[in-house]
């Protein structure tokens, strides 16, 4: 395992992004305080479409995937990874899950939170809410965690039709199915909390959530400016407000402040670096939380990551005005979010991800594309080579695939990465000559 570079974090391009560390600390602080106050705490998965429901029912979310990323950023992941592997979990299993399972295993073995755990560690939750959104381990992870915790678990199915489907023909079925899943979750939460879900409070959380998503979208649209006012390393920080504070005024206020800062940079033509030469798209794969400084390494060659296709905010969608029930609204919104690029895909490449990347290449005046293949993340890595190949049918931009893992440093080689990056920069420079 090479660790020649001790620094893990990246220098940010905006002042507002530097405020995110306090938001991250507050996630775990709030969970500990909630336990002390007798409030309900739930292990959760990001982008599972149930966030506003939790806020409306005063359930404090505790995101286990985020905690794995935090451990990697703090370079305190090995003890949790090794504990999970000692318990029989394969090294090719999602490393987010291995950190979570290892943490819970150690906490059970010790009878307390492992000493020195980043941000005070995670308290024992009152429930665990799995999800099929994005990948299969997120559905099974908390079932496996039941080896270490005796708390109720619920898994929600989050679905989308295949891109070749006729959306008009399948829409009602998928929305009804999603509605039934959300209703089932609400019934579970009502049983755990002993109180009914208030529709008015759910509408308020939805309103706040959609306002935050809209502001985030508007911020990303500002990033089309040349020079780019905010880089991808900032994105991987500022996404905390949208994904982990969904349905709160905190997220709205944060993105409003960030929008004002980014808009000011655009107006004054202030870029991430003084001399922006190459505009890079982070095409896919989870970020290397253990080595985020690599974005600054690209910048030393004049290459700025101006937009990314992972941990993004959801683009705004328009739910029909006849939808009056908040749970129906959530089901409609999920369907519209996950099928946004289906029609484009049917008309051209057949792949919604390829269509989204092509839009980004055009809108953001992209010069090159970088992918990150994570050895333990099947969802973002299997198919990545195919997407890269399909993208090449419609774009002749230089593309590169770096290989490591999102949190497991054993799969990373600084020397290999720098050699690849050097060749990639040469390809970019060759196009400009």
181-223 residue pLDDT tens: 999 999 999 999 999 999 999 999 999 999 999 999 999 999 9
pLDDT band at 134 (very low <50, low <70, confident <90, very high): confident
Q: Is the pLDDT of residue 373 over 50?
A: yes
pLDDT tens digit string along 350-369?
Answer: 999 999 999 999 999 999 99
| Calpha distance 11→112 (Å, rounded) | 35
Q: Which is nearest to 304 in space by CA: 328, 275, 327?
A: 275
Q: Is the pLDDT of residue 62 over 50?
A: yes
| Calpha distance 276→299 (Å, rounded) | 8
Q: Which residues pair with 6 in a beta bridge?
A: none
pLDDT band at 5 (very low <50, low <70, confident <90, very high): very low
Average confidence (pLDDT) over 154-160: 95
State percent of the chain over pLDDT 70. Answer: 98
Average pLDDT in the chain: 95
Average confidence (pLDDT) over 39-60: 97
Average confidence (pLDDT) over 155-170: 95
Q: Is the pLDDT of residue 393 over 50?
A: yes
In this predicted structure, what is the pLDDT of residue 3? 40
Q: Work out the end-to-end distance of the chain between its first and last CA atoms, rounded to an integer number of angstroms.
A: 38
pLDDT tens digit string along 244-266?
Answer: 999 999 999 999 999 999 999 99
Average confidence (pLDDT) over 32-41: 98
In this predicted structure, what is the pLDDT of residue 137? 87
Q: Is the pLDDT of residue 173 over 90?
A: yes
What does R_g of the chain's alpha carbons equal in angstroms? 21
Helices (H), 278-347: 294-299, 326-338, 342-347
pLDDT tens digit string along 289-333?
Answer: 999 999 999 999 999 999 999 999 899 999 999 999 999 999 999
In this predicted structure, what is the pLDDT of residue 433? 65
Task: Calculate ∠ Cα 334-340-343, nearest 5°.
Answer: 135
In this predicted structure, what is the pLDDT of residue 53? 98
State percent of the chain over pLDDT 90. Answer: 93
In this predicted structure, what is the pLDDT of residue 415? 96
Strands (E) located in 88-171: 127-131, 153-156
Q: Is the pLDDT of residue 7 over 60?
A: no
Contacts by residues 207-210 (CB-CB < 8 Å, ≥ 24 positions apart)? 208/52, 208/247, 208/248, 208/249, 208/251, 208/252, 209/51, 209/52, 209/246, 209/247, 209/251, 210/316
Sign of CA dihedral 350, 399, 297, 281: negative
Contacts of 22 (CB under 8 A, 6+ apart): none
Q: For residues 285 and 380, is the Cβ–Cβ distance under 8 A?
A: yes
Q: What are phi and psi of 374, to 5 degrees?
A: -95, 120
3-state class percentages of the chain: helix first, strand second, coil last, to nearest 5:
55, 10, 35
pLDDT band at 407 (very low <50, low <70, confident <90, very high): very high
Q: For residues 277 and 302, is the Cβ–Cβ distance under 8 A?
A: yes
Q: Which is nearest to 154 in space by CA: 254, 54, 263?
A: 54
For 65-69, 270-274, 418-422, 429-433, which range has the lowest pLDDT when averaged over its residues?
429-433
Average confidence (pLDDT) over 131-135: 90
In this predicted structure, what is the pLDDT of residue 117? 98
In this predicted structure, what is the pLDDT of residue 93? 95
Q: Is the pLDDT of residue 9 over 80?
A: no
Q: What are phi and psi of 229, to 5 degrees?
A: -85, -20
Q: Give the DSSP H or E segment for 290.
A: none
Q: Is the pLDDT of residue 74 over 70?
A: yes
Strand order in the sheet with 153-156: 60-63, 41-44, 127-131, 153-156
* pTM, to two decimals: 0.95
């Amino acid at each position: 395992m090479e660790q020649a570079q001790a620094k893990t974090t990246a220098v940010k391009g905006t002042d507002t992004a530097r405020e995110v560390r306090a938001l991250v600390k507050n996630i775990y602080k709030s969970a500990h305080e909630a336990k002390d106050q007798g409030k309900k705490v739930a292990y959760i998965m990001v982008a599972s479409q149930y966030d506003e429901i939790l806020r409306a029912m005063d359930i404090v979310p505790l995101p286990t995937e985020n905690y794995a990323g935090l451990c990697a950023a703090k370079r305190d992941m090995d003890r949790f990874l090794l504990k999970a592997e000692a318990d029989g979990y394969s090294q090719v299993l999602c490393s987010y899950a291995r950190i979570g399972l290892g943490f819970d295993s150690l906490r059970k073995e010790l009878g307390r939170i492992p000493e020195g755990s980043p941000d005070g560690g995670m308290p024992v939750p009152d429930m665990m809410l799995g999800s099929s959104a994005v990948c299969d381990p997120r559905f099974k992870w908390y079932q496996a965690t039941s080896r270490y915790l005796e708390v109720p678990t619920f898994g929600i199915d989050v679905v989308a039709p295949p891109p070749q489907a006729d959306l008009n023909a399948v829409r009602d079925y998928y929305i009804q199915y999603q509605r039934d899943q959300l209703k089932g979750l609400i019934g579970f939460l009502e049983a755990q909390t002993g109180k009914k879900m208030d529709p008015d409070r759910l509408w308020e959380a939805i309103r706040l959530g959609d306002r935050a998503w809209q502001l985030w979208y508007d911020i990303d649209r500002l990033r089309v400016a040349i020079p780019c006012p905010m880089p991808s390393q900032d994105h991987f920080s500022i996404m905390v407000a949208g994904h982990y504070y969904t349905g709160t005024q905190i997220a709205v206020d944060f993105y409003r402040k960030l929008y004002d800062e980014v808009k000011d940079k655009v107006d004054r033509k202030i870029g991430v670096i003084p001399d922006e030469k190459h505009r890079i798209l982070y095409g896919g794969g989870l970020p290397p939380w253990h080595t985020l400084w690599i974005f600054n390494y690209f910048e030393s060659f004049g290459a700025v990551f101006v937009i990314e296709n992972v941990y993004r905010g959801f683009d705004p969608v328009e739910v029909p005005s006849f939808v009056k029930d908040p749970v129906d609204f959530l089901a409609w919104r999920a369907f519209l979010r996950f099928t946004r690029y289906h029609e484009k895909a049917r008309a051209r490449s057949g792949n919604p991800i390829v269509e989204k990347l092509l839009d980004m290449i055009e809108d953001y005046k992209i010069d090159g594309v970088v992918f990150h293949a994570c050895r333990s993340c099947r969802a973002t890595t299997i198919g990545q080579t195919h997407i890269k190949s399909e993208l090449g049918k419609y774009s002749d931009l230089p593309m590169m695939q770096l290989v490591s893992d999102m949190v497991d440093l054993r799969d990373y080689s600084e020397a290999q990465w720098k050699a690849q990056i050097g060749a990639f920069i040469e390809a970019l420079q060759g196009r400009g000559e």
